[in-house]
Amino acid sequence: MRRSSNLTDEDKEIYAVIGTNTKMYLMLKNHSQSELANLLGVSRASMSLKISGKIAWSASDVLKVSQFLNVPVERLYSREAVRSIAKAYGPIGNLQLA
């Protein structure tokens, strides 16, 4: 697992987007980070670090998340996904839509 100290700024931004979108879709589809951690075979703590963009996402992990949440892979990489969902459904939990 690559920690954020080994990541470029571009990597960090991409992983943060994936994490935010994953968190949003987990909430929308009533799934927990624990369920996702079990699916990916990581601890709950590691899942939290992934969601917060502090640990790298592998292509395999993103594909598994996409299949688990039944959303296209490209939606997990989309900077606009959170904004479009928030417009349609209103604020989602405590997600920051910066």
- pTM, two decimals, is 0.80
Which pLDDT band holds residue 3 (cuts at 50, 70, 90)?
low
Digit-coded pLDDT (tens) for 43-72:
999 999 999 888 899 999 999 999 999 999
3-state secondary structure the chain: CCEHHHCCHHHHHHHHHHHHHHHHHHHHCCCCHHHHHHHHCCCHHHHHHHHCCCECCCHHHHHHHHHHHCCCHHHHHCCCHHHHHHHHHCCCCCCCCC
Q: What is the pLDDT of residue 98?
A: 45
Domain boundaries, the chain: 4-89
Q: What is the pLDDT of residue 58?
A: 94
Among 3.40.50.720, 3.30.450.20, 1.20.1560.10, 1.10.260.40, what is the CATH number of 4-89?
1.10.260.40
Question: pLDDT above 90 covers what percent of the chain?
Answer: 56
Question: pLDDT above 70 covers what percent of the chain?
Answer: 82
